[in-house]
Amino acid sequence: MLRMLVVDDDEPMRRGLKELLELHPGWEVVGEAANGREALEKADQLSPDVVTLDISMPVLDGISAASLIHQAHPETEMLVLSQHDLPGMVRRALNAGVRGYVLKSRAGRDLVPAVEAVCHHTLFVSAEVSGAQDSKFEAVPAPPAAGKKCPEA
């Protein structure tokens, strides 16, 4: 079972992401958070395999939360789900330990492949992200102890 934490300040968005993710066999959303501070607390409590994070949130933004989660739980994979598509934002997210970057407008198409990629420790960036076709984005290497894999469907 792949355990996920969904983090977004918009409750209908969290609900929709949870429904979309739980359609996939073997995947379970074990928690939700409305801001980066709650995300840190839930990551500590629940030890999810994958965390999806919005960038623009109150209290603590998604990139700062990702950095703190990555420091405390380097085995947890993370992906950003955002409406921001600037290459500099993608680089900041990847530097914070995020391995996937999905545009919210493409969540229906890209979210499942992104989760599959990151839980196999592979970079995923939506093709529509500004400059993604022209730029080489480097992912943070998987920690040596990272052995979590996507459950086979």
Q: 139 in a domain, yes or no?
A: no
| In a domain? residue 104 | yes
Q: Give a yes or no: residue 153 inside a domain.
A: no
CA proximity to 118, closest of 100, 106, 96: 100
Per-residue pLDDT of 50-91, as tens digits, reads 999 999 998 999 999 999 999 999 999 999 999 887 778 888
CATH number of residue 52's parent domain: 3.40.50.2300
Rg for the chain (alpha carbons), in Å?
Answer: 14
Whether 118 and 72 have beta carbons less than 8 Å apart is answered as no
CA distance linking residue 22 with residue 108, whole number of Å: 13
Statement: the pTM of the whole predicted model exceeds 0.85: yes
Number of domains in the chain: 1
CA dist., res. 91 & res. 113, Å (int):
20
What is the domain range of residue 90?
2-125
pLDDT tens sequence across 22-47:
999 999 999 999 999 999 999 999 99
149, part of any domain: no
Q: Is 26 inside any structural domain?
A: yes
In sequence order, what are the residues at sequence separation of 6 or more whose Cβ sits closer than 8 angstroms to the Cβ of residue 102?
Answer: 79, 80, 81, 82, 110, 111, 114, 124, 126
142 in any annotated domain:
no
**Choice between 133 and 48, residue whose per-residue pLDDT is larger:** 48
Does some domain include residue 151? no
